[in-house]
Structure 1
Amino acid sequence: MGRRPRGDPETSPIAGTMTASVKTADAVVIGGGIMGASAAHFLAKRGFGRLVLLEKGRLAGVSTGHSAAIVRTYYSNPITLELAKRALHMFENDRDLLGGDGGFRPIGFLLLIGERLRAAGEHILESERRHGLHVERLGVKEVAELAPPVSLDGVSYGILEPRSGYADPTRTTENLVAAARPWGLEPRPGVAAT
């Protein structure tokens, strides 16, 4: 399954969106990458009022569209971890929550922990578990079986997130925007903030 061209006007779920300038709005989100689209989506979902998303180019047309789009939950900051947990749920249920396939593929995420970061890794592993996430601590032999070509010099253990993976960043951005239109989001690709 290949990626669509970024911002393809023929197949984009927001094709035909107006590009006229904006005179008034309750809120304006500037930037149509994954962060701006997500902020606009959740503001609209909460009934924020007239909400406009400005993007000087096309949605996901800059850094988001070139992202590896790794979906994982291994974060040391508890707030970031909670956001990642919610995002993982969204990716796993994108058809129901966003109305379209965001290309999520749960291939797993394996992190190798060296001796110097052993305690920090254990702390994050336990934090993920406290947040209700399924993560596995793997011994070096288990890591070798899972990823035989990987050098394990200096590795103390591995952390496996079996539900993690990657997604299509462009489709996810477009789906966030398209799903929020019924709640009043007005996407404006091709309109720069001035």
Structure 2
Amino acid sequence: MTTTAEAIVIGGGVMGASILYSLTSKGIKNSILLERSTVGSGSTGRSSGAIRMHYSTEVNARLAFKSLEVFANFDEIVGGDVGFVETGYMVFAPDHAKEGFRDNIEMQRAVGIDTRVVSLDEARELAPAFRLDDDEHFAWESRSGHADPSATASAYISKARSLGAKIILDTPVLSLDIGETAAHRVVTENESFEAPIVVIATGPWSGEFLSRLGIDLPLLPT
């Protein structure tokens, strides 16, 4: 039996769930998510849930900044309580890395992120339980915090389902055949699926999965 769809997402962690939501919210209603176990059963269920924007590459900083606005207004944008708490976030750097550290802060501020370099005394006021040394450098993001990763994945899944997506659990993908035309074929034990769009969102298991396609991605779960 073969089921056709507009898009297929492989992987039911928070990334796969958010991708599925994005597809359906943009009008690709006939979307299917395939998960080998349960929603959030992989690295999502083991995540600390930190929401922060300190990255050394601009594209990651921009993505994190955009995601902060979603988490801060999650119930309004997606629906549901994902437990976002704005605690602030402190970043440390050793003295030998101070130039790159300050360059990162300047880049992040240019993006629009509320971050700034703070002195040792202020860092101690912000984080009195931390042991801080005078040969370290510090930055503070006032709007960062944490959220519940599993609740986030579940909320995205619920919204995507309400928009027409189909979620199939306990269904490992056995193979993926890249079509020469528009359709790609995803094969599971009991059923096959075809779609012009297939998104692989298998997290740290992507290296193992892609090796079946002859793609060498040096990524292993630890």
Q: TM-score range, shorter-chain basis? A: 0.7 to 0.9
The structure-2 alpha-carbon separation of the partners of 1:22 and 1:54, relative to structure 1 and needing over 3 Å to count, comes to: farther
In the TM superposition, what is the alpha-carbon distance from 1:191 to its structure 2 partner? 2.4
* Cα distance in structure 1, aligned partners of 2:115 and 2:133: 23
- Give the letter aligned to residue 153 of structure 1: D
How far apart are residue 136 of structure 1 and its match?
2.3
Show the counterpart of 1:105.
85
Give the counterpart of 1:151 among 131, 135, 142. 131
2 CA distance for matches of 1:41 and 1:119?
Answer: 39
Q: Where does the alignment leave 5 or more consecutive residues of structure 2 unmatched?
A: 174-187, 189-222
1:141 maps to 121
Q: Deviations over 1:96-153 (max 9, x none)?
A: 0111001111111101122111111111111111111111210111112222342323
Structure 2 counterpart of 1:23: 3
Q: Does the residue aligned with 1:158 lie in a helix, a strand or coil?
A: strand
TM-score (norm 2): 0.73
Deviations 1:56-87 (A, max 9, x none): 21100121011101110001111111111111
Amino acid at match of 2:146: Y
Mark the runs of 5 or more structure 1 residues left unpaired by the alignment.
Answer: 1-20
- Is 1:77 the counterpart of 2:38 in the alignment? no
Paired residues of 1:143 and 1:157 also in contact (CA < 8 A): no
Larger Rg computed on CA atoms: 2
Task: List aligned pairs for 1:47-62, cutoff 5 A.
Answer: 47-62=27-42
| CA–CA distance in structure 2, aligned partners of residues 149 and 53 of structure 1 | 43
Structure 1 pair 110–87 and aligned structure 2 pair: CA distance change class (3 A): same
Q: Which amino acid aligns with 1:178?
A: S
RMSD between aligned residues: 1.7
Counterpart Cα distance in 2 of 1:175 and 1:124: 33
Q: What TM-score does the superposition give when structure 1 sets the normalisation length? A: 0.83
Contact 1:57 1:191 in 2 (8 A): yes
Counterparts of 2:56 and 2:25, CA distance in 1:
28
Structure number with higher relative contact order (C-alpha < 8 Å, ≥ 6 residues apart): 1
Counterparts of 2:150 and 2:167, CA distance in 1: 15
Secondary structure of the residue that 1:110 maps to in structure 2? strand
Q: How does 1:2-21 map to 2 (within 5 A)?
A: none
User: Structure 1 or 2: larger strand share?
Assistant: 2
Structure 1 position 154, deviation (Å): 5.3
**In the aligned structure 2, how far is the partner of 1:22 from the partner of 1:80?**
38
Q: What is the rounded CA distance, in whole Å, between the counterparts of 2:2 and 2:47 in structure 1?
A: 29
Cα distance change, pair 42–155 in 1 and its aligned pair in 2 (3 A)? farther
